[in-house]
Amino acid sequence: MKTHYQILIIGGGTGGIMTAAQFLKKDKTLNIAIIEPSEVHYYQPAWTLVGAGTYDFKKTARPMAKVMPKGVEWIKDYATSFDPKNNMISTKGSGNITYDYLVVAPGLVMDLSLIEGLPEALDKGVVCSNYTNPNHTWEVIRNFKGGNAVFTQPTTPIKCGGAPQKTAYLAADYFRKHGLAHKTNVIFATPGSVIFGVKPIRETLMKVIHRYGIHFKPFYAPYKIDAEKQIIYFRNTSPDESQYIITEDNPLGESLKGDAVIEMPFDMLHLAPPQTAPKFVKESVLVNENGWLDVDHYSLQHKKYKNIFGLGDVAGLPTAKTGAAIRKQAPVVVDNILRLIQHREANNASYNGYSSCPLVTAYGKMVLGEFDYESNFTPDPELKKMLIFDSSKEHWRLWILKKYMLPYLYWNKMLKGKKV
């Protein structure tokens, strides 16, 4: 096996595969390797639909060998540490590998230890997560008979920040369709202050919450689960304590312990586990103070090591971690590295924080939240042409986009380096 590559990519997820494919579209002679231990590549955006019983989990998986671009060397191994001064990374089984240019795109990892009781509770009984086992989520929703259905998210950044609320909307729709709405409290509890940061999308989603009668609980930061007693514990993170007056005999059975701890019983619990950069990234010299890859927000070039770039979920960018963001990030990384190869400056600083969140609001309805670093609503011009309506409002055509068109585009265009 070779031990030096012109371009070395860590990660065979959306970011790594797309970037490699786009490089080869520009120049087939480039010498590229991808380090990726997994045998299977998943289309995770469909897991929300799997968890609602409307998509087959098997269809979200393809063998990694099938999506690996032809002309790229696949190093089936784990990256374990960086030595950026010597342009080198270490691996678990393949020794040290050196590079001219490095692209860091290993995604993120679930850190269940950040919520007490979560490792023991997750994917068992009535505690579920589309992030780890969407088939179990569907089982829990299908078997639910009434009571408190609690949906929450952690205090860490997560991939597709809108996913926990999509699951709440689909579950609420399912309960309504199956005559359970009258004996069910659907609760969406978030450490955040609003349901969504982009104003036109937020206005639509508040109508959705009102339509289902969802109990929306901002400033609820989950920190502990007692799966046996079926209680979840939140810290009240509100800057204004007067917002948190919990009365006795409230319909959700909540109780306040001390000044800031809220106990809430549940009959089903769906959550996004806390998420962090992988350990070998988090413990390296390449991260910012929050433990994410320290790249320039606009050029995606590492702030200290100029031949290192990062994209996707591992990047320390103040925007949502989504596949749609990678679609806009990959061309910037490719262009900048090609400039460096040509002994030019990596001065493409055109990534504006674009990300998008397809927010499924019912079986057959969706809103498309597209935004930039400033939380401006920024509909993609090509998509706008195709849809010919306001994507900040619920529409059945957006559901078709989510369920049928986006998976097709992902497998057949994005992963093959074609323009989408």
For the chain, what are the domain ranges? 4-108+277-350, 111-274
The neighbouring-strand residues paired with 295 are 302
Identify the active-site residue in 325, 357, 366, 406: 357
Q: Is 128 a catalytic residue?
A: no
> Which CATH code for domain 4-108+277-350?
3.50.50.60
pLDDT per position as a tens digit, 331-371:
999 999 999 999 999 999 999 999 999 999 999 999 999 99
pLDDT at 246 (0 to 100): 81
Q: Is 357 a catalytic residue?
A: yes
Identify the active-site residue in 160, 208, 366, 414: 160
How many CB atoms lie under 10 A from the CB of residue 386? 11
CB 76 within 8 A of CB 37: yes
**3-class state of residue 375 by DSSP:** coil
pLDDT at 244 (0 to 100): 64
The neighbouring-strand residues paired with 73 are 33
Fold entry, domain 111-274 = FAD/NAD(P)-binding domain (3.50.50)
Domains 4-108+277-350 and 111-274 share a fold: yes
Residue 153 has pLDDT above 80, yes or no: yes
Nearest to 34 by CA among 93, 103, 115: 103
Mean pLDDT of the residues in the chain: 96
pLDDT per position as a tens digit, 383-392:
777 766 789 9
CB 244 within 8 A of CB 238: yes
The C-alpha atoms of residue 242 and residue 239 are separated, in whole angstroms, by: 9
Nearest to 188 by CA among 263, 113, 271: 271
- Is the pTM higher than 0.85? The answer reads yes
DSSP secondary structure, 167-213, as one string: HHHHHHHHHHHTT-GGGEEEEEE-SSSSS-SSHHHHHHHHHHHHHHT
Q: Residues of the chain with pLDDT > 70: what percent?
A: 98
CB under 8 Å to 126, separation ≥6 — which residues?
140, 144, 230, 266, 267, 268, 269
pLDDT per position as a tens digit, 268-277:
999 999 999 9
Residue 154 has pLDDT above 60, yes or no: yes
